Structures are given as C-alpha cells and as structure tokens.
Amino acid sequence: MIPINRPIIGQEEKDEVQKVLESGIVTNRLGEGPMNKAFQNELSEFIGVKRVLTVSSGTAALHSALLAGGVKNGDEVIVPPFTFVATANVALLVGAKPVFADIEPRTYTLDPNRFKKAITKRTKAVIPVHLYGHPADMDPIMEIAEDKGILVIEDCAQSIGAEYKGKKTGSIGHIGCYSFYASKNMTTGEGGAVTTNDDELAEKVWMIRRHGEKEEYQCQMLGHNYRMPEIEAAIGRVQLRKLPSFMEARTKNARALTEGLKDLSALELPIVKDWAKHAWYLYTTRVRKEKSPVERNDLMKKLSENGITAAAYYESPIHLSPYYVKTYRYKKGSFPESEKAADEVMSIPCHPAVTDRDLTRILETLYRLLKQQD
C-alpha cells in the first residue's frame, strides 16, 4: 500500500535519541534542555525569526499563541472553516468565539476580502492557515489586520519550508505556529513550535509552556505543561537537516503528478501562485463531479483496492461538524467555497518515499478509473 504520508526516520535519528537516553537529560523543567535549546536556535535560523519556542504539539502552539496575545472571553478569532478543527477549537479553549471566513477556491486558504467582512468590534485575532503547504495571501491579510489592531497568528502546521514572496511562513505574522506530528514534512513524533519577532510575545509563550512561571514556583499567568521532551528535539534537529532534501523530493513528485495528470479532465489539479513556494505537504486535487465517471468517495475506495491511499482533507468543514452545528446552529450553505471543497478534494501521495514506480502506478490507476466514456 502506498500511504498518503509517512514519517521518514533513519539511523541518524536513532543515534541522537540514544545519546539523549545515555545523557540522562530526557526533559527539562524550563523546556530548555540542550537539545531543545539547539533545536530552537536552528529553527530560528531556518525560518528567519528572532525567537522560537518548542512546545508539545501544534495545538499547544496555537493555544499558547492566543494566550500570549491576550485573547480571552468575549473576544472573536477569525479562522477559515476549511482546515483541521484544532484551529477553531483553540479559540474556544481561551473563551473566545471562532468566527469563520470562507476560503479562496484554488489555494484553499483564507480569502482576505472575506476576512475583512468578518471583522467586528470584538475581533482580537485572525488565524490564516497555510493549507496543504501553500501559503495564504499574507500581504492583504497583514494590511487589514494591522489597520484594525488584530493579532495575526499563522497556522503553519502543514507548511514548514513554504515561502510567501521569499519569506518563510511563520515569519510574516505576529506569531507563527508549527506542528511536527508524524505525518508532517518533518516530524518529532508529536511536537510543535511557536515563532515570533516580538520579545514580549516570546516571553509569554516561554512562561505559558511551563505553567505560567517566570521563576520557579512563582506563577505569573495561566499556563500549561507544553514542554517538548529532549528526545523529540533530538529527532527534530536531524529532521530539520533533512528537510531540504525532503522538500526537493516532494516538489519533484508533485511536478510529476501534475505533468502526468494534466490531460485528465476529471481532476482539477493544484496550483502554485507566482508569489509562493509550496511545501507540498499534500498533493490535493478536486474530483470534478460533472466530468468524473466515479464519485469522489468511491474513487478513493477504488484507489485503496489498488494499493494506493487517497484521502479527503477535509470531508466536513468545521462549521458543519456536529459540535459546531449543535453549539452555533450553522447550516449548509453558510460558507459555500469551503463546503464545495469538502465535497470535491482528494489528496494522493507525493511524500519523499514515493518512488518513480509508485508514481507510474498512481497515474496509470487514475487514468484507468477516470477514463471518460465518450
């Protein structure tokens, strides 16, 4: 079976983990053991930001960012409805209300015009998501947000290595949040990071990840145990060194898929804006209902039967998930672009472990299943 994504772990990662185990320093109460310190510095240099704080997950990064930004009960946080639910859930975790603004249909990222229309007097933050590895259009988002005094938190969970007009994602907004979950372009198993050029925000995140303490047993603000273990940081350091080669392989595979599928009218292929460098976390197509002889979900099932994993990220936009329907009474039709995308998207494998033979198999299978009956 060709998986949709997989962690690529080698002997180098195993050797570094062994060193941590032998050192006896497997964690640190401040979240700053030697591996974490080194990993933070290396991420800072790679992303091009002043400060990086490692944390226990991408969700922890987003939650910490909102807490550090002072988002609280009664505030509103604007998010796209077409993303993983964590992006909206973290707003609820600080007592704020997630307010949805629809996406641009080709990049699947927050539409700046819809973001502007969603702003109210209670809007405190916005979380643009660089979905599938393609950056959101950050310049207009930043211009709108800074004019209104709105905190911009980049959700970079799927976009490490991606660039917007020559700048790495996570270095453009006021604060950025990464995930190093097992499926991501680089992994620490679980884990995440917060990036910022703002010393005050960085200091608050530093306290938040250690229960809000600035000094030992002196809690200054509400915080959590969001530290990254030393073992994860050790894996992350090796993965970061490998990331350029991972990205090169992903880009090569994505280009091969685009070239190989360009004549298949049943699929709408992903685009890359002129100002973007795509990280290719996922190679996401749309199954055109009017031109496909097979329904999207049936197509994914048939691909699986042929040893190819395909997935729909995401089959339901957040506002139509049971909790949000129950809590906010959202109905179908509220955010049409997100709902249309949820009905049509299908991601296929393009990760570094996908071989030329795998690509041939994927292309031949898709052509066979989607051949038009003219």
For residue 57, tell me if it sits in a domain. Answer: yes
The pLDDT of residue 31: 79
Mean pLDDT of 272-296: 97
Q: Is residue 1 part of a domain?
A: no
Considering the domain architecture, whether residues 196 and 263 belong to the same structural domain is answered as no
Same domain for 215 and 255, yes or no, is no
Which pairing describes strands 175-179 and 192-196: parallel, antiparallel, or unpaired? antiparallel
pLDDT tens digits, 19-51? 999 999 999 887 789 999 999 999 999 999 999
Does residue 6 form part of some domain? no
Structural domain ending residue among the three candidates 238, 269, 300: 238
Domain assignment present for residue 4? The answer is: no
Same domain? 138 vs 270: no
Task: Please tell me whether residues 155 and 285 are part of one structural domain.
Answer: no
Mean local confidence (pLDDT), 76-88? 98
The range of the structural domain enclosing residue 59 comes to 11-101+108-238
75 shares its domain with 120: yes
Please check whether residues 179 and 322 belong to one and the same domain.
no
Averaged pLDDT for residues 82-94? 98
Pairing type for strands 213-215 and 167-168 reads unpaired
Does 2 reside within a domain? no
- Of the three residues 183, 205, 238, the one that is the final residue of a domain is 238
Q: What is the mean pLDDT of residues 331-356?
A: 97
Whether residue 253 sits in one domain with residue 323: yes
Q: Tell me what percent of the residues of the chain surpass a pLDDT of 70.
A: 99
Q: Examine residue 211 and state whether it is found in any structural domain, yes or no.
A: yes
Helices within the chain (DSSP H only): 11-23, 34-47, 58-68, 86-93, 112-118, 138-148, 199-208, 230-261, 296-305, 322-328, 336-344, 356-370
How many domains are there within the chain?
2
Q: Do 305 and 359 lie in a common domain?
A: yes
pLDDT in tens, 224-236: 999 999 999 999 9
pLDDT range class, residue 328, cuts 50, 70, 90: very high
| Residues 260 and 366 occupy one common structural domain | yes
Average pLDDT, the chain: 97
Does residue 128 sit in the same domain as residue 43?
A: yes
356-370 vs 296-305: helix crossing angle, rounded to 10: 130
The CATH number for 29's domain is 3.40.640.10
In a domain, 288, yes or no: yes
Alpha carbon dihedral 153, 318, 133, 242, in 10-degree steps, equals: 90
Residues 285 and 330 in one domain: yes
Residue 251 shares a structural domain with residue 358: yes
Residue 3 lies in a domain: no
Last residue of some domain: 221, 238, 255?
238
What are the pLDDT digits (tens) for 198-225?
A: 999 999 999 999 999 988 888 899 999 9
State residue 372's pLDDT score: 55
Does pLDDT of 99 surpass 70? yes
- Residue 373 is predicted with a pLDDT of 42
CA 40 to chain centre: 19
